[in-house]
Structure 1
Amino acid sequence: MKTRTSKAIGVAVGAAAIALSVPLAVNAYAEPTTTTNTPVAEIPDPQGPKCDDFKKAVPNWKSLADVPVGKVLSAIPDISSFNAAVSGQLNPAVNIVPVLENGPFVVFAPTNDAFAALPPEQQEMLRTDPAALTKLAYYHVFLGLLGPDDVKGQRPSQEGTEVEVTGSGGDIKVNETTKVVCGGIQAQNARIYIVDKVLDPTEAPAPIGRTTASSTATSATSTTQTLPAEAPAAPAPATSPAPAAEAPIG
């Protein structure tokens, strides 16, 4: 009797041990054996003859790729005058940063030396005439999200008149005479190109792809180019309830 009881107990214990070991084995094999990492897109280097200076002045430039363009403009020391002109610091009635942050936009940002080279009377006009400053600010912006190898071409600026970009990579010019010293700086919904002159909308190139009534009448069979899309109208300057202290140019 004792022998049969001992055998029965032994069988029961063995069965229980087997039953308990099964879930443990399943759990062990359920553990993941590998970890998959999502690749992170590399931020391309900006291009231009003075990009080394830019990188020294803004060592965290790669981290700006996901930062709103207004904060990126304010983070670059060499374009503080342009930042003042577009953010309400130069003239409290003109702040286009909220528009820029609803891009995509290409932004041409003149250096501080470029603003300092403007005639004194023009500098004074930009401080005191909101319409003139708004016109100039929007002429430095056009729709797009283009890197240094793709930015070339002629397009309407946000001011309405055209901007012509030639060249590519580290050798880019705007309206033939203005050089990009460092371009393709990434911001959220924008690409920034630092230029060595303040762009002048009165020197804008003629629109492309447009025909006059006389030329159409005399050459009905001629082929015309597609008209470029009109730039959105620039919003009217906001009126500040209380004027702020004037920021110097340069």
Structure 2
Amino acid sequence: MKTQMRSTTTLLGIGAVALLGLTACGDGGGSGDSGGDGGGETSQEESSTAGEESQGMEGSESPSEGMESSDESGEMDPAANLVGSQCSDYAEQVPEGDGSVAGMAQDPVATAASNNPMLTTLTDAVSGELNEEVDLVDTLNGDEFTVLAPVDDAFADIPEEDLNALAEDPQALTDVLTYHVIPGQMSPEEIAGEHETVNGATVTIEGEGEELMFDDAGLVCGGVQTANATVYMIDGVLMPEGDEQ
């Protein structure tokens, strides 16, 4: 019995000492002495520094974001790939509005051409104005193309009798118009070569830059972007074999 009581007393003493030690540790951490104040100041400084670094990271633009913005701005410039000795004349004649370089970029190709005062005869030809049986507007607006677009002066060089005969023959007119259309979009750097047209015949494009030749027609201004096509305005009307007047 005495042995058990002594053991119990010893355990109670050890427990009391442990509780006193824990209480002392708790009081030291929460005291207002210089040691406690120093810890608080360090914590506040670290929090402030972290906040400033976080704000700096949020306010800065990552390199990838900057490149994407630059690339997008380059793609949005419709005059970036223009080529041709008469592009400046085109810009002077149509400096703004739907028929300008910037304006044409907003519409599909048949619609864009209809707004360009240099392409009125071509517009009449593809929209049923020359022959009501020949209306290619939906076709041209419905896919991606490279369009070789004779300017009005090119049609004016065709004898009136021949032009009237072409307009009265819907099959011949369709053959000529679709000979000016190549599936897919091609930039000035990749357009040289032989290309099968929507007509089925092959058009030959030679040279580079301002010296590009489209069969026997020269370049007026090319690389003009529309919503679905790349346009090359040319100074002659191309005739596929068998339709030459």
TM-score of the aligned structures, taking structure 1 as reference length? 0.65
Task: List runs of 5+ in structure 1 lacking aligned partners.
Answer: 1-24, 205-250
Cα distance, 1:30 vs structure 2? 7.5
Q: Which residue of 1 aligns with 2:239?
A: 200
2:89 corresponds, among 16, 31, 53, to 53
1:65 corresponds, among 105, 118, 140, to 105
Q: Secondary structure of the equivalent of 1:127?
A: helix
Matched, 1:33 2:73: no
Cα distance, 1:75 vs structure 2? 2.0
Instruction: Read off the aligned partner of 1:146 and give its amino acid letter.
Output: M
- Contact conserved, 1:58 with 1:75, CA < 8 A, in 2? no
Q: Which residue of 1 aligns with 2:209?
A: 169
Q: Which has the larger radius of gyration?
A: 2
Structure-1 separation of matches of 2:91 and 2:159: 30
Shift of the 75–95 alpha-carbon distance from structure 1 to 2, 3 Å rule, reads: same
Structure-2 separation of matches of 1:51 and 1:27: 54
- Contact conserved, 1:74 with 1:83, CA < 8 A, in 2? yes
Cα distance, 1:91 vs structure 2? 1.5
Instruction: Map 1:137-216; keep pairs closer than 5 Å.
Output: 137-175=177-215, 177-202=216-241
- Contact conserved, 1:107 with 1:141, CA < 8 A, in 2? yes
Instruction: Read off the aligned partner of 2:211 and give its amino acid letter.
Output: D
Matched, 1:96 2:132: no
- Contact conserved, 2:126 with 2:137, CA < 8 A, in 1? yes
Structure-2 separation of matches of 1:116 and 1:203: 21
Structure-1 separation of matches of 2:161 and 2:197: 25
Structure-2 separation of matches of 1:66 and 1:132: 31
TM-score of the aligned structures, taking structure 2 as reference length? 0.66
Cα distance, 1:169 vs structure 2? 1.4
Per-residue CA deviation, residues 39-93 of structure 1 (Å, 9 max, x unaligned), is 3223314111111111112224134324211121112211111111112222222
Structure-1 separation of matches of 2:161 and 2:84: 31
Instruction: Read off the aligned partner of 2:86 and give its amino acid letter.
Output: K
Structure-1 separation of matches of 2:242 and 2:192: 18
Shift of the 133–195 alpha-carbon distance from structure 1 to 2, 3 Å rule, reads: same
Q: Which has the higher contact order (CA 8 A, sep 6+)?
A: 1
Instruction: Read off the aligned partner of 2:109 and give its amino acid letter.
Output: V
Q: Secondary structure of the equivalent of 1:77?
A: coil
1:110 corresponds, among 150, 155, 160, to 150
Structure-2 separation of matches of 1:127 and 1:203: 16
Instruction: Read off the aligned partner of 2:222 and give its amino acid letter.
Output: G
Structure-1 separation of matches of 2:86 and 2:108: 23
Cα distance, 1:202 vs structure 2? 2.0
Shift of the 30–88 alpha-carbon distance from structure 1 to 2, 3 Å rule, reads: farther
Cα distance, 1:28 vs structure 2? 9.8
Instruction: Read off the aligned partner of 2:154 and give its amino acid letter.
Output: A
Matched, 1:86 2:126: yes
Structure-1 separation of matches of 2:53 and 2:115: 52
Structure-2 separation of matches of 1:29 and 1:102: 52
Structure-2 separation of matches of 1:34 and 1:91: 60
Per-residue CA deviation, residues 121-160 of structure 1 (Å, 9 max, x unaligned), is 2211233221111111101111121111210000111111
Taking every aligned residue pair, what percent have the same amino acid on both sides?
32
Structure-1 separation of matches of 2:211 and 2:143: 25
Q: Secondary structure of the equivalent of 2:91?
A: helix
Cα distance, 1:194 vs structure 2? 0.9
Q: Secondary structure of the equivalent of 1:72?
A: helix
Instruction: Read off the aligned partner of 1:62 and give its amino acid letter.
Output: A
Instruction: Read off the aligned partner of 2:187 and give its amino acid letter.
Output: G
Q: Secondary structure of the equivalent of 1:133?
A: helix
Structure-2 separation of matches of 1:142 and 1:125: 25
Instruction: Read off the aligned partner of 1:138 and give its amino acid letter.
Output: T
